[in-house]
Amino acid sequence: MRREIHKWWSPALHKNMEIVVYGHYGNAFLMFPTAGADYLEYERFHMFDNIWHLVEQGKMKLYSINSINNESWLNNSMNPRDKAIRHQQYNSYVCDEVAPFIFNDCRGWVPVYTAGASLGALHALNTFFRRPEMFSGCIAMSGSYDLKDYTKGYWDQNVYYNSPEDYLRNLSNDWLLEKMRDHKKIIIATGEGDYEDPHASRALSGILNSKGIPHELSIWGREWPHDWPTWRAMFPFFVHNRF
């Protein structure tokens, strides 16, 4: 199986950023790490063990990137305004650098689905909803979709436009809404076990229902905590049964 690590100097972030690629062919999944983790986190935690056969068969490709959460919302020494600016720079990196890299690596347009767990779920879902013409859907697991949960009371336009609960609730742009509704695969999943917040997923689902955006809300039981065993079960389940 093809496994390659690529690195380039990111103009958006002004630093070197790595990406690991698994596979040769198929629809692409862009993976966002949890919290302050790196691009190899999902491999280290055996997230893909039950789907390697799909990668080897050319049915899907996986792309996993670094987070910069330790340079934004998880960095308690930063000015909140600078945290919000850094978040926007990360958006630019993903859409202006990573997405073109994926299309070039796939030798043309392919469906690209964003995916992530915990804080990675917020990035995955936010990336899709900000650019639904570029991405084909998302798998968001165990996320909180109100960015204010991380800002410690700080609020500005950069926070607003990266807080899906806020901007989706007020969204009235027909073109964007149609792109979000147009045969996209949107999965919002969570457990109900320790440290999970199923209310966050239900709240976002309610907003999407109010906008007529088709999606799947999947609430797993109390035996599923906010931890790797849950995500190792969820991601292969949805990949096998929904894509």
- 0.85 surpassed by pTM: yes
Please report the pLDDT score of residue 79 as a whole number.
95
Which tens digit of pLDDT belongs to each residue from 193-222? 999 999 999 999 999 999 999 999 999 999
Tokens of residue 94, six digits: 């993903």
Domain positions in the chain: 3-242
d(C-alpha 240, C-alpha 50), whole Å: 10
| 139-163 pLDDT per residue, tens | 999 999 999 999 999 999 999 999 9
Query: Which residue in 74, 86, 67 sits closest to 156, CA to CA?
Result: 86
In CATH, the architecture of 3-242 is 3-Layer(aba) Sandwich (3.40)
Neighbouring C-alpha atoms within 13 Å toward the C-beta of 127 = 33
Predicted local distance difference test score (pLDDT) of residue 88? 97
- Tell me what pLDDT residue 183 has: 84
Confidence (pLDDT) at 166? 97
Which residues does the chain have with pLDDT short of 70? none
